[in-house]
Amino acid sequence: MEREQIKILQIEDNPGDVRLIKEMLKESRRIEYIFEYVDNLRSGMQRISEGDIDVVLLDLGLSEITGLETLKRLLSSDMAVPAVIVMTILDDEESGINAVRSGAQDYLIKGEVDPGLLVRSILYSIERNEAKRKIQRANDELEEKVIARTKKLSETLKSLEEEIKIREEYERELKIKDNAIESSINPIAMGDLQGNITYVNKAFLKLLNYDDKEKLIGRNGTSFWQAMNEAREILEVVKKGESWEGELVVKKEDNTDFCCHLAANLVKDKSGNPRNIMASFIDISKQKKAEEALKKNLENIKKMMEASFRALSAVVNLRDTYTGRHQKRVTQLTLEIAKKMNLNSEQVSTLRFASMVHDVGKIRISSEILNKPGKLSDLQISFIREHPIIGRDLFKKVEFASPIAEIIYQHHERIDGSGYPEGLKGDKIMLEAKIIAVADVVEAMSSHRPYRPSLGIEKALKEIEDNSGRLYDPQVVDVCIDLFRSGEFKFEE
């Protein structure tokens, strides 16, 4: 049996990814293909406009344009666009899912594609795109003919025979439409304006594990959703003529739940009159499980990171108990300020790690200098001022998702540029570093030091209040002072 020949166009500006796709296609024995590629969207759109391309492999990371804008620009053109499969990087799976919602037939994650998956995706996308076109053509042709026949009937009223003839033509067109939907691999259901199911295709039966359409016809579609109230709200939205897309939990025949992506819209005739509701479904339960697994892995990584930072903080404490206690108390105040400022969870997490080890650079400074009871010499002060640089150097080669090394480096900078080590000013200083700077000063002044007794919390608060806007960030200062004077916070021993 002669294998089907498919024309594939890859839009990709990474030659390595192009070679990888070529190699995968060579390994396939399921399809015959003609492969072309271009390295930019404009050339890709020009090639598509010339016709005869069956499927496009579209990279969402092109240098000229990135993300969903790449797909939107392609789909917004006037030309007939073939089936589109978007290619995303490993940490951007969400863009792939959004791309499918926006009109792509499928998405593949670079680094997780094998020849079998690639070929299945190509065949699936072509079939889905063709089914979509058939449905649209059938809808358009049917609506045009129904309007034409209805008008002719109202004008002529020739005979009952003519009416029967028109009805037969109508039913024949309906059958064409039903056949196109029935053969689709995409689960599809249709219902009346009250949400009662009037039609389901085979793929929908398989999705819900039903063996007979009659078990579904006549039932209200909202009865299959786990959250029925939400389903009813969606029905009302669609009845108003608005399309709806999103995730819902659906019940199978055995009452087990699974997550799916639903796209529902109101079908109207050419006159704009509502006719029925059509909904298509995609089972995304595997993707949701993968997302949960990824989330769990990220939580485990965060726990390991926190354990590592606590261990490093403990090392500092073993060498210098004053510095160790100082870091612990600065962390307490830093986190309270961050929460009071409504920073997001990622910023709070970053501040936790950075404040726990903000003075870690002092492990390279001799204990005699750190714990000297008298006044430090200029040379000794210069040694002390090296600790933000040492701290940054300890972390800069470690790849964190957040800028921990830079926060450590900047925590002694001041708004007016009088700080160290770089003399940064204003907005050049990270917000996280500004928060630690305030917490650092308050804790240091209110705590006992080898070279002086505690100056007290009120003197510490007066220092940041008097220098708000000059040395310290005004918003951070206001929040810090309010925490103490309202009684919401005090240092734990």
- Which residues face 86 on adjacent strands? 58, 107
Q: Helix or strand or coil: residue 265?
A: strand
Cβ-based neighbour number of residue 419 at 10 Å:
21
At residue 106, the pLDDT reads 85
Take residue 307 and report the two structure tokens written for it: 């354990």
The span from the CA of 146 to the CA of 270, in Å, is 9
Tokens 């925490």 belong to which residue?
483
Domain 5-125 sits in CATH at 3.40.50.2300
At residue 493, the pLDDT reads 65
Q: Are 350 and 404 in contact (CB under 8 A)?
A: yes
Q: Are 484 and 459 in contact (CB under 8 A)?
A: no
Question: CA separation (Å) from 436 to 63, 223, 358, 424?
Answer: 38, 54, 8, 15
Q: Rounded to the nearest 5 degrees, what angle is found at the Cα of 224, between the Cα atoms of 222 and 226? A: 90
Tokens 């490093």 belong to which residue?
312
The span from the CA of 87 to the CA of 99, in Å, is 10
At residue 1, the pLDDT reads 38
Question: CA separation (Å) from 68 to 61, 91, 247, 274, 386?
Answer: 9, 15, 19, 31, 46
Strands 55-59 and 83-88 come out as parallel
Instruction: Give me the tens of pLDDT residue by residue for the chain, a chain 493 residues long.
Output: 345 688 889 898 889 888 988 888 888 777 788 899 999 989 888 988 888 888 888 888 888 787 788 888 888 877 778 888 888 876 666 777 888 888 888 888 888 888 888 888 888 888 888 887 787 787 778 777 777 776 775 666 566 666 666 666 656 665 656 665 676 778 888 888 888 888 888 888 888 888 888 888 888 877 777 667 777 888 888 888 788 888 888 888 788 888 888 888 888 877 778 888 888 888 888 887 877 877 776 676 566 666 556 656 556 655 556 777 888 899 999 999 999 999 998 899 889 889 988 888 887 777 767 767 777 777 877 777 888 998 888 877 666 656 888 999 999 999 999 999 999 999 999 999 999 999 999 998 998 776 678 889 999 999 999 999 999 999 999 999 999 999 999 887 6
CB-based contacts of 335, cutoff 8 Å, min separation 6: 348, 351, 352, 355
Query: What superfamily does domain 188-283 belong to in CATH?
Result: PAS domain (3.30.450.20)
At residue 412, the pLDDT reads 94
Calculate Rg over the CA atoms of the chain: 33
Check whether the bond before 187 is cis (ω within 30° of 0): no
At residue 61, the pLDDT reads 82
Beta strands in 22-168 (DSSP E): 32-38, 55-59, 83-88, 106-109
At residue 431, the pLDDT reads 96
The span from the CA of 29 to the CA of 416, in Å, is 68
Q: Helix or strand or coil: residue 280?
A: strand
At residue 441, the pLDDT reads 95
Q: What is the dihedral of CA 224, 227, 233, 236, to 10 degrees?
A: 0
Cβ-count burial of 241 within 10 angstroms (0-12 exposed, 13-18 middle, 19+ buried)? Answer: exposed
Domain spans of the chain, in order of start: 5-125, 188-283, 289-485
The span from the CA of 95 to the CA of 107, in Å, is 9
Q: Is domain 289-485 annotated with CATH 3.30.930.10? A: no
